[in-house]
Amino acid sequence: MLDLGELHAEVTRKAIKHVHLSVLPPAGNVRVAAPETMPLETIRLFVVSKLGWIRSQQRKLQAQERETPREFLSKESHYLWGKRYLLEITHADAAPAVSVSPRKLYLQVRLASNQGRCEEVLDAWYRQQIRDAVPALLDKWQPLLGVKARRVFVQRMKTKWGSCTPESGYIRLNTDLAKKPPECLEYIVVHELAHLLEPTHNARFSALMDLYLPHWQHLRKQLNSLPIRHEEWGF
């Protein structure tokens, strides 16, 4: 743990080449992943140099709107690709199923299903929406950037919209991206693919994003202004 006056940063050591700095929702906790052999004083100086950015990120997180808790009841609002749908729950002695009409999101579950089971079924369905959308985006963007992700995982993520491990070529995408406008998913896919060329958020990374997706900062602002899942976040 690094103590810098009022700021406290959690430090973890990993087999990586570069320092990775994160400001995590909801409260803006600071986490630093650093190479195993990097001196603590070097890490401290790096964090100090980023204090302005850290404070800016913390202010954004504190101001970001959050969804009200979902109870998974009929007529409750749910979202798919940025559009609002009213949930309609039906019961049947059959496998769970989800479908959509222009205005409604239909969730079919067994009679004994509780709130937790409804959430589980919907989360799995959202995850599949991302899996179905990603191949076309990879086919579009991997040749343009001249990179190839070895594997893409879709999972529920508490602290990020996506992540990339350049050493392994693995990319992870947040299931909740299926609730946001499609262009937000495309932005995150491009963002993570760009990390295969540049692992950090330095000037080179920004230049790559400017080159391949000139309006990326607008998309980032759009995504970060949308309500995020109401959840008890733990670290």
Q: Domain check: are 193 and 107 in the same one?
A: yes
Spatial separation of the C-alpha atoms in residues 145 and 133, rounded to whole Å = 19
Spatial separation of the C-alpha atoms in residues 200 and 229, rounded to whole Å = 27
- Boundary (domain end) residue, out of 24, 39, 63: 63
Q: Domain check: are 90 and 119 in the same one?
A: yes
pLDDT band at 16 (very low <50, low <70, confident <90, very high): confident
- Boundary (domain end) residue, out of 20, 37, 63: 63
Q: Domain check: are 105 and 181 in the same one?
A: yes
Distance of CA 96 to the CA centre of its chain: 26
- Where in the sequence is the domain holding 11, given as residue range(s)? 2-63
Number of structural domains the chain divides into: 2
pLDDT band at 68 (very low <50, low <70, confident <90, very high): low
221 contacts 231 by C-beta, under 8 angstroms: no
Q: Domain check: are 53 and 81 in the same one?
A: no
Q: Give how far Cα 41 sits from Cα of 30, 32, 70, 172, Å.
A: 17, 13, 45, 31
- Average pLDDT rounded to a whole number, residues 210-233: 76
Q: Give how far Cα 194 sits from Cα of 46, 102, 207, Å.
A: 23, 35, 10
Tokens of 21: 């700095």
104 domain residue, yes or no:
yes
Q: Domain check: are 175 and 216 in the same one?
A: yes
pLDDT above 80 (res 234): no
**pLDDT score, position 185:** 97
pLDDT in tens, 175-195: 999 999 999 999 999 999 999
Coil vs helix vs strand at 190: helix
Q: Domain check: are 11 and 121 in the same one?
A: no
233 domain residue, yes or no:
no
**pLDDT score, position 149:** 97
Specify the CATH number for the domain of residue 123. Answer: 3.30.2010.10
Q: Which of 37, 39, 29 is nearest to 9 (CA)?
A: 29
pLDDT in tens, 134-179: 999 999 999 999 999 999 999 998 778 999 999 999 999 999 999 9
Q: Domain check: are 125 and 20 in the same one?
A: no
Spatial separation of the C-alpha atoms in residues 193 and 195, rounded to whole Å = 5
The residue among 68 and 83 whose pLDDT is bigger is 83
- Boundary (domain end) residue, out of 41, 63, 85: 63
Half-sphere exposure in the Cβ direction for 55 (13 Å, CA): 8
Spatial separation of the C-alpha atoms in residues 26 and 99, rounded to whole Å = 32
Q: Domain check: are 47 and 81 in the same one?
A: no
